[in-house]
Amino acid sequence: MKRNVAIVGGGQTYHAARRHDVDQVEMVNEAVRRALDDAGMTIDEIDTVFLGNMEFFEGVHMTDCWLVHGTGAYGKPGLKITTGGTVGATTVCVGAHHIASGLFDKALCIGFEKQEEGDTGAILSGVAHPLWGRSLAGAAVGYFATMGSSYMATWGATEEHSAMVAVKARQNARKNPYAHLKLDITIEDALNSRMLSYPIRMLDMCPASNGACAMVLADEKTAKKRCKKPVWIRAMDTAHNEQFELDWRFVDTKRPIFSKVCAARMYKKLGVKKPAEYFDVFEVYEPATWAELIWYEDLGLCGPGEGFRLVEKGMTNIDGPIPVNPSGGVLSTNCIGASAMLRVWEAALQIRGDAGGHQVPKDVRRALTTGYGGTNWTVMTALSKTLDD
Amino acid sequence: MVDRVAIVGIAQTKFAPKRADVSYGEMAYEVIEAVLRQTGLKMDKDIDNSISCSHDIWDGQTISDIGITDVIGGHLRNEEKMALDGSTAVYYGTIGILSGEFECTLLMAHTKMSQTNRNIVNNDAFDPIYTRLLGFDYTSAAALQARRYMYKYGVTPEQIARVVVKNLANAKKNPVAHQSGDFTVADVLSSPLVASPIRKLDIAPDTDGAVAMILASEKRARQIKKNPVWIKGIGTCYDAYYLGDRDLAGVFALEKAAAQAYRMAGIKNPRRQIDVAEVGDDFSYQELLWMEGLGLCDRGAAGRMVESGATEIKGKLPVNPSGGLLGGVPINVYGLNRVAEAALQVMGQAGDHQVSKDVKVAVAQGHSGFCGQHQCVVVLGKE
């Protein structure tokens, strides 16, 4: 990028299954106000506004237009982005490109979903091709069920490993005041929760949350002048799998796959050899427990088939050597349009040392985040504390 | 702009009321293959970024860029979808190249309006609490805007009908248009009334089609094409949402978007400096309103200007020589088609609908949302 871009502020709503007290405009505005407060800016100082959201989830066409008074986009340049589960991270990319272009100095990026206003399962089934895939579609649960079965059959993991991820996420969420599912659960609770589609049980899956996240990005000069703890965006990359790449998560596939291809490009850009050592914390997009284990492997934090060993040994716990999702992750909070942005914002909080109860107990200088959506798509973002890191 | 961005390739489908022979992915493939063939560029070697424009609700598929990931080169690579008018793909594509992240970006907008019902989709753009239940769609909202504009500035139905007569005559010369002909003002004013004062011939017809374009950095553009079209200025802006919160005869957002684009392009006097305009005439009266917003004439003067013949293909300032959207362009593709047609004029490759004057600078305008809430302006030029 031609200019350095920093995160100079951010904010999120408290996430919940029901937000009857607010409409979409008001909910988004909560996150926007928190982000502006955090950045010490007023909306008048913002040059441009970007909104990421999936219009089908709420059944409102052109939400960016409706929400202008909540987002602050009225009278300003801006765009709406719609790329599925990755959209929150894509929106950050869009903001970063605008700042880097030199045409804008301060950008507000917003992601949100108010899932209670639609039927998430039905809408996710609508992801599948109308002719070839839709009659088979089992929404997200069906997809992750094949992933879990394939993972266990191939690598010898058990349902207990999935339960360990489920417990880690919800116990971390208890330390995060904004998280949706702050559950004090045990492995037994997870293993005894209701079966949705073998091997996916209720507690192996993310919730359908209402919530929003907003971030203020700025150029280097503004960031250094206005922000005590700017967090720098060091690299971004996007990779999709096309819809008929129907491995449906054949976990030991040798073919190039979105996650590994994207990680390899990120590491090349940054000169990373050992990601588990290079990055101090990871925030990954795990709509289901098994996805987190596969992220460990695809990000190269361990070898293929070793992901479940990492969680077994507690390596990815909040106080472990490779903390993954100290925020509680998507398993604890999933407001789809915001989820990928929440990964970036939570990683930024860790770098700033402002994560509060879920701050990892070590010096955090670098972080890596992933988004996950579409038919196996990701957007990765690498952050650092200083421009030397 | 320190660095510059150029348009190096353009491909459009023949627009048609219904393309039952192709899915939207196949339709996208038609234009992407054509633009790659035209420029001699290879998807894997040359294109390093892709941007699409469409809407899930129009496409009937959640995250509908899934349906074009393969054909747009998104497999294992980058693709981002702007859920706005196609002109915003040019806006964001330009910014992506200026950011230094990308060198050569493929843009594509597509929609098959025949797959669904525009009134239902339009109605979904109205908020679920206050305005949706009133049964609004873009046409009924536009009727309010047209009335307000006519009342405030004394624009007459005859002047608005002149836009239709001009554009449908221009469309006869445009091989991709599907609605055209020799109509009179009386024909327009006697076509069926849809939402007073808007009649059937005042409305851009339901259309299927796609447009693809390739943008490149200055360095790459010079390698790819001899005389590329330069993107001189870009701007976007949101207006208020609720119709009651806006003066519907106002052009607040368009003026701001145009000011941003003109500042970048160094345009101080658009009336003198702009040679041709392609504007978003979703409804005939909007051509007049947007001409005023773009500063091509005084407020309220566009009606008289069209009457004088100044905006005809051989006029002083041709507007929509392509036939505009009234000739038949799908929604969401509107703006990318505006930019494409403006670029063809700058290149001198518009064929039969090439304007007779020398085109140095062209302006294209696209908008999203009812009554033009989100505006996007792109200024194009030679060297």
Q: Mark yes or no for CB contact A75/B236 under 8 Å.
A: no
Q: In chain B, which residues have their Cβ closer than 8 Å to the Cβ of A78?
A: 236, 238, 374
Tell me: pLDDT of B334 over 80. Answer: yes
Alpha-carbon distance of A229 to A242, in angstroms, equals 39
Give the model's pLDDT for residue B1.
Answer: 45
Q: Does A333 touch chain B (CB under 8 A)?
A: no
Rounded Cα distance between B282 and B118, Å, is 13
Contact, B364 vs B380, CB < 8 A?
A: yes
Closest CB to B66: pick one of A93, A100, A243: A243
Picking from A23, A126, A238, the nearest residue to B129 by CB comes out as: A23
Mean pLDDT, chain B, rounded, equals 97
Measure the CA dihedral B138/B141/B147/B152, to 10°.
-110
Q: How far apart are CA B176 and CA B173, in angstroms?
A: 9
- pLDDT tens track for B183-207: 999 999 999 999 999 999 999 999 9
pLDDT for residue A126: 85
Of B63, B238, B373, Cβ closest to residue A127:
B63
Looking at residue A137, its pLDDT comes to 60
Search chain B and give the residue with CA nearest A243: B66
- Per-residue confidence band for A247, with pLDDT thresholds at 50, 70 and 90: low
pLDDT digits (tens, 9 = 90+) for B246-289: 999 999 999 999 999 999 999 999 999 999 999 999 999 999 99
What does the pLDDT read at residue B171? Answer: 98
Closest CA–CA distance from residue B122 to any residue of chain A (Å): 8
- Are B236 and A79 an interchain contact pair (Cβ–Cβ within 8 Å)? yes
Pairwise CB contact (< 8 Å): A77 & B260: yes
Bridge pairing between strands B208-217 and B5-12: antiparallel
Of A65, A82, A130, nearest to B125 by CB-CB distance is: A65
Chain B residue with minimal CA distance to A72? Answer: B238
Greater model confidence, A297 or A135: A297
- Give CA–CA dist A323/A206, Å, rounded: 19
Cβ of A239 and B77 within 8 Å?
yes
Q: Which of A49, A79, A243 sits opposite B69 (nearest CB)?
A: A243
Dist. CA A157–CA B283, nearest whole Å = 61
For A360-371, the pLDDT digits (tens) are 999 999 999 999
Q: Where are the domains of chain A?
A: 5-119+208-226
| pLDDT category of residue B166 using cuts at 50, 70 and 90 | very high
Q: Give the confidence band of A249 by pLDDT, cuts at 50, 70, 90.
A: low
Please give the residue of chain A at the shortest CA–CA distance from B72. A242
Residue A34 sits at φ, ψ, to 5 deg, of -65, -40
| C-alpha dist (Å) from residue A85 to A129, B76, B194 | 17, 16, 40
B-chain residues near A374 (CB < 8 A): 63, 65-66, 69
How distant is the Cα of B53 from the closest Cα of chain A, in angstroms?
9
User: Which ranges of B66-124 does DSSP label H, i.e. alpha helix?
Assistant: 87-98, 118-124
Please indicate if any CB of chain B lies within 8 Å of the CB of A258: yes
Nearest to B146, CA basis, from B302, B297, B270: B302
CB within 8 Å of chain B, chain A residues 99-138: 99-103, 117, 123-124, 126-127, 129-131
ipTM of predicted complex: 0.97
Question: Measured between beta carbons, which residues in chain B are less than 8 angstroms from residue A73?
Answer: 238
- Look at residues B125, B136, B243, B111 and name the one whose alpha carbon lies nearest to residue A58: B125
Contact (CB, 8 A) for B237 and B260: yes
Residue ranges of A 219-248 with Cβ closer than 8 A to chain B: 236-245
pLDDT for res A120: 84
Q: What is the pLDDT of residue B50?
A: 98
Q: What pLDDT does A246 receive?
A: 61
| CA nearest neighbour of A332 among A220, A142, A246, A205 | A205
Tokens of B86: 């196609």
Look up residue A44 and give its DSSP letter. G
| pLDDT surpasses 60 at A290 | yes
**What fold, for B5-117+206-224?**
Peroxisomal Thiolase; Chain A, domain 1 (3.40.47)
Averaged pLDDT, B26-36: 98
Which residues lie closer than 8 Å to A135 by C-beta, 6 or more apart?
A: none
pLDDT value for A138: 66
Mean pLDDT, range A259-271, rounded to an integer = 97
Return the pLDDT at A132. 78
Going by pLDDT thresholds of 50, 70 and 90, the confidence category of residue A140 is: confident
Q: What is the pLDDT of residue B80?
A: 96
pLDDT at B313: 97
Q: Which of A198-202, A241-245, A299-303, B361-365 shows the lowest per-residue confidence on average (mean pLDDT)?
A: A241-245
Amino acid of residue B91: Y
Number of other CB atoms surrounding residue B277 within 10 Å: 26
Give tens-digit pLDDT for A205-225. 999 999 999 999 999 999 999
Question: In angstroms, what separates the C-alpha of A261 from chain B's closest C-alpha?
Answer: 7
| Interchain pair A375, B82: CB under 8 A | no
| A351, A231 contact by CB (below 8 A) | yes
Separation in Å, CA of A90 to nearest CA in chain B: 7
Task: Classify A5-119+208-226 by CATH class.
Answer: alpha beta
A59 Cβ under 8 Å from any chain B Cβ: yes
Distance between CA atoms of residues B256 and B372, nearest Å:
13
What mean pLDDT is reported for chain A?
Answer: 95
* Inter-chain touch A240–B74, beta carbons under 8 Å: yes
Decide if pLDDT at A165 tops 50: yes
Mean pLDDT of A133-140: 72
Helix, strand, coil distribution of chain A in percent, nearest 5: 40, 20, 40
Among candidates B113, B336, B143, which has minimal Cα distance to B208?
A: B113
